[in-house]
């Protein structure tokens, strides 16, 4: 069993929700931009509206035009009629196309300021025996690294209008693996449990997909009663805001936003289309399965090749590998990592450069076998993390099907040698640059400022030869204060001055700038 990449369903499409129609086909509602002119928020499009499309097979869709009730979360009742939640109102329909308003919903968290702004009120519904509805929604439980974290709760209703909160919490990321923690137990990165999507598998088990920033994107859990959820784990699948359908043969098709598409799918499309696309995968029996049993290690202070085992299980045809990385706002462009074409125009520290090339050993083979993906880095570990944070994926192709798995990374204190690196007082020399390699090494950082504090410029990510001009006079970045239009200056994580611009202006902002957004 594995996730097979099916491809791009449509460009300019996010936040899909489908419902099964009386004839066995499907209707899906989703968000779409009217314009690809960049908006004031920095995104490569604006003026979102809500569209529906129909399909007989769940893969090939025909647009119907604008939704009559805007964006909605639909559910089909046992009697074949439909209900939908949209903008605080509840609707009924016999065909999931023509809707009649039933009234305004009294949300169970009506007076809770930490709720209702998440997932638009309700994210999904489940029909219980007797026709009672259970609705799933999010409430914020904290903010970590300037990113909100939400938990999943639920409530029940007989009429869809008046809701009673269920006791307890369905999934709290603070008591599980959705929020990362270090060996000391302290939170060391952002995480979430957002946008739940609940459906029933053929054996009666309930399945939930939801989002978490930790260990990439899509997570899942299972339940027998819809209240207690177990088997919380990340799926080997890139993308978010999942929409799911169970096919007649028992396989599960999932639609996700954005990331996950192959480089060929990006060619010839605008930034707006590449930022907002719907991609589908199907989970079911396959002749082979690719997995990454451990994260890619990053060693502080060390520029050296890193190794990632790639496990191919099963049998069948020979499987070959590829690898690529995303860049730009929301991953609007891709770079091949095999042929060395990764040449970003502007990245955090070094301008234009060739930061990494991936070599697979072996490049292909017949299952089962294990390959070594060697990431040959020429940049600092902070740059490595910056590149990987946009999304890096490995593709396995047996000539008939493709599987696409996201690369996860983790910081480690394990040094490639025993007499250098963290804890020894001696920095390890790089092995992929310097004398005898033909590649000059990147000079070590000489910064002396404390990250996040004012550091006199000029920053090296502005001025002559750079995309943006340096501000004059310089303004210090201040947490809790909006970044001025001309930008502000602060020390990056390497101790050097960096220019931070308002969110969305710089397509590749320095990592430190996230602390001021």
- pLDDT, position 496: 81
**Considering the domain boundaries, does residue 295 fall inside one?**
yes
- pLDDT, position 104: 95
Range 439-446 average pLDDT: 42
User: 296-298 and 409-411 as β-strands: parallel, antiparallel, unpaired?
Assistant: parallel
Q: What total number of domains does the chain contain? A: 3
Q: Say yes or no to pLDDT of 177 above 90.
A: no
Q: Which helix (H) or strand (E) holds 181?
A: none
Q: Say yes or no to pLDDT of 200 above 80.
A: yes
CA-closest candidate to residue 279, choices 310, 254, 296: 254
Task: Quick: pLDDT tens for 48-62.
Answer: 899 999 999 999 999
- pLDDT, position 182: 74
Q: Can the peptide bond before residue 362 be classed as cis, meaning omega within 30 degrees of 0?
A: yes
Q: How far is CA 151 from the centre of its chain?
A: 17
- pLDDT, position 329: 56
66 shares its domain with 147: yes
CATH number of domain containing 108: 2.115.10.20
**Considering the domain boundaries, does residue 47 fall inside one?**
yes
- pLDDT, position 386: 77
Choose the final residue of a domain: 361, 389, 411.
411
Q: Which of 5-14, 258-267, 430-439, 459-468 has the highest mean pLDDT?
A: 5-14
CATH number of domain containing 305: 2.60.40
- pLDDT, position 25: 95
Question: What are the distances in angstroms from CA 164 to CA 91, 138, 154, 158, 452?
Answer: 19, 15, 9, 10, 45
Q: Say yes or no to pLDDT of 338 above 80.
A: no
Q: Say yes or no to pLDDT of 479 above 60.
A: yes
104 shares its domain with 205: yes
- The model carries a pTM of 0.76
225 shares its domain with 262: yes
Q: Say yes or no to pLDDT of 348 above 70.
A: no
Tokens standing for 259? 């990331």
The domain of 207 spans 2-285
Range 157-177 average pLDDT: 93
SS3 13: coil
CA–CA dist 366, 362 (Å, integer):
11
Residue 190: which pLDDT band, with cuts at 50, 70 and 90? confident
Task: Quick: pLDDT tens for 81-127.
Answer: 999 999 999 999 999 999 999 999 998 888 887 785 554 589 999 99
Q: Say yes or no to pLDDT of 428 above 50.
A: no
Q: Say yes or no to pLDDT of 389 above 70.
A: yes
Residues 6+ apart with CB under 8 A from 355: 342, 344, 347, 377, 378, 379, 383, 384, 387
Task: Quick: pLDDT tens for 350-387.
Answer: 444 567 889 999 999 999 999 999 998 888 888 888 77
64 shares its domain with 201: yes
357 shares its domain with 500: no
Q: Say yes or no to pLDDT of 414 above 70.
A: no
Rg of the Cα atoms in the chain: 24
Q: Say yes or no to pLDDT of 6 above 90.
A: yes
Choose the final residue of a domain: 389, 411, 433.
411
Give backbone dihedrals phi and psi of 205, rounded to 5 degrees, phi first: -65, 140
**Considering the domain boundaries, does residue 439 fall inside one?**
no
DSSP for 109-129, written as a single string? TTT-TTBSSSTTS--EEEEPG
Q: Are 189 and 145 in contact (CB under 8 A)?
A: yes
Range 261-287 average pLDDT: 84
Task: Quick: pLDDT tens for 283-333.
Answer: 999 999 999 988 899 888 888 899 999 999 999 999 999 988 877 655 666
**Considering the domain boundaries, does residue 442 fall inside one?**
no
Choose the final residue of a domain: 411, 435, 469.
411
456 shares its domain with 492: yes
237 shares its domain with 380: no
- DSSP letter at 130 equals G
**Considering the domain boundaries, does residue 440 fall inside one?**
no
59: left (phi over 0), alpha (psi -120 to 50) or beta: alpha
**Considering the domain boundaries, does residue 117 fall inside one?**
yes
472 shares its domain with 376: no
379 shares its domain with 486: no
CA–CA dist 435, 285 (Å, integer):
50
Range 259-275 average pLDDT: 76
166 shares its domain with 54: yes
Between 287 and 427, the more confident residue is 287
278 shares its domain with 300: no
Residue 181: which pLDDT band, with cuts at 50, 70 and 90? confident
Range 122-147 average pLDDT: 90
Task: Quick: pLDDT tens for 234-253.
Answer: 888 888 889 999 999 999 99
Q: Which of 95-109, 116-130, 144-158, 483-497 has the highest mean pLDDT?
A: 95-109
Q: Say yes or no to pLDDT of 17 above 50.
A: yes
Considering only 299-303, 341-345, 403-407, 439-443, which range has the smallest mean pLDDT?
439-443
Task: Quick: pLDDT tens for 501-512.
Answer: 998 788 777 767
Asked whether the CA dihedral 153, 158, 163, 168 is positive or negative, the reply is negative
- pLDDT, position 330: 58
Residue 339: which pLDDT band, with cuts at 50, 70 and 90? low
CA-closest candidate to residue 470, choices 498, 493, 509, 494: 498
Considering only 52-66, 169-183, 385-399, 447-461, which range has the smallest mean pLDDT?
447-461
By percentage, how much of the chain surpasses pLDDT 90? 45
303 shares its domain with 207: no
Task: Look over the chain and give the mean of its residue pLDDT values, rounded to a whole number.
Answer: 83
**Considering the domain boundaries, does residue 418 fall inside one?**
no
Sheet holding 82-86, edge to edge: 73-76, 82-86, 89-93, 100-104
Task: Quick: pLDDT tens for 201-235.
Answer: 999 999 999 988 765 678 999 999 999 999 999 88
């Amino acid at each position: 069993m594995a996730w097979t990449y099916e491809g791009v369903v449509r460009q300019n499409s996010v936040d899909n929700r489908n419902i099964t129609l009386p004839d066995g086909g499907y209707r899906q509602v989703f968000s779409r931009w009217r314009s690809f002119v960049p908006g004031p928020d920095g995104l490569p499009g604006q003026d979102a509206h809500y569209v529906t499309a129909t399909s007989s097979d769940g893969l090939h869709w025909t647009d119907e035009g604008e939704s009559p009730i805007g964006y909605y979360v639909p559910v089909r009742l046992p009697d074949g009629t439909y209900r939908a939640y949209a903008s605080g109102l509840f609707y009924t329909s016999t065909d999931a196309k023509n809707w009649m308003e039933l009234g305004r919903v009294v949300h169970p968290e009506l007076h809770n300021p930490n709720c209702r702004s998440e997932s638009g009120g309700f994210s999904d519904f489940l029909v219980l025996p007797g026709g009672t509805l259970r609705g799933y929604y999010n409430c914020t439980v904290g903010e970590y690294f300037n990113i909100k974290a939400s938990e999943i709760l639920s409530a029940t209703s007989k009429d869809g209008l008046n809701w009673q909160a269920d006791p307890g919490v369905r999934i709290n990321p603070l008591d599980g693996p959705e929020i990362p923690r270090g060996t000391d137990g302290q939170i060391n990165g952002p995480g979430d449990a957002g946008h739940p999507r609940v459906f029933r598998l053929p054996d009666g088990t309930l399945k939930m997909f939801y989002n978490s920033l930790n260990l990439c994107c899509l997570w899942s859990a299972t339940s027998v009663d819809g209240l207690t959820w177990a088997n919380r784990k990340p799926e080997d699948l890139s993308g978010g805001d999942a929409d799911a359908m169970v096919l007649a043969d028992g396989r599960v098709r999932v639609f996700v936003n954005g990331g996950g598409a192959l480089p060929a799918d990006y060619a010839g499309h605008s930034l707006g289309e590449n930022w907002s696309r719907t991609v589908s995968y199907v989970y079911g029996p396959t002749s082979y399965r690719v997995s990454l049993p451990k994260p890619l290690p990053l060693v502080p202070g060390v520029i050296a090749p890193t190794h990632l085992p790639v496990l191919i299980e099963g049998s069948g045809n020979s499987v070959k590998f590829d690898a690529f990385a995303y860049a730009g706002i929301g991953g609007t462009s891709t770079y091949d990592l095999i042929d060395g074409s990764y040449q970003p125009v502007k990245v955090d520290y070094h301008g234009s450069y060739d930061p990494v090339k991936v070599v697979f050993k072996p490049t292909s083979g017949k299952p089962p076998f294990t390959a070594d993906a060697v990431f040959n880095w020429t940049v600092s570990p902070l740059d490595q993390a910056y590149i990987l944070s946009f999304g890096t994926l490995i593709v396995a192709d047996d000539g008939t099907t493709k599987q696409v798995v996201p690369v996860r990374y983790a910081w480690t204190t394990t040094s490639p040698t025993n007499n250098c690196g963290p804890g020894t007082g001696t920095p390890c020399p790089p092995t992929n640059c310097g004398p005898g390699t033909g590649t000059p090494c990147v000079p070590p950082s000489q910064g002396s400022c404390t990250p996040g504090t004012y550091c006199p410029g000029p920053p090296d990510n502005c001025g002559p030869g750079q995309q943006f001009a340096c501000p004059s006079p310089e303004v210090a970045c201040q947490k809790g204060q909006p970044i001025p239009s001309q930008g502000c200056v602060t020390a990056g994580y390497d101790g050097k001055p960096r220019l931070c611009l308002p969110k969305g202006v710089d397509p590749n902002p320095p990592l430190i700038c996230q602390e001021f957004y």
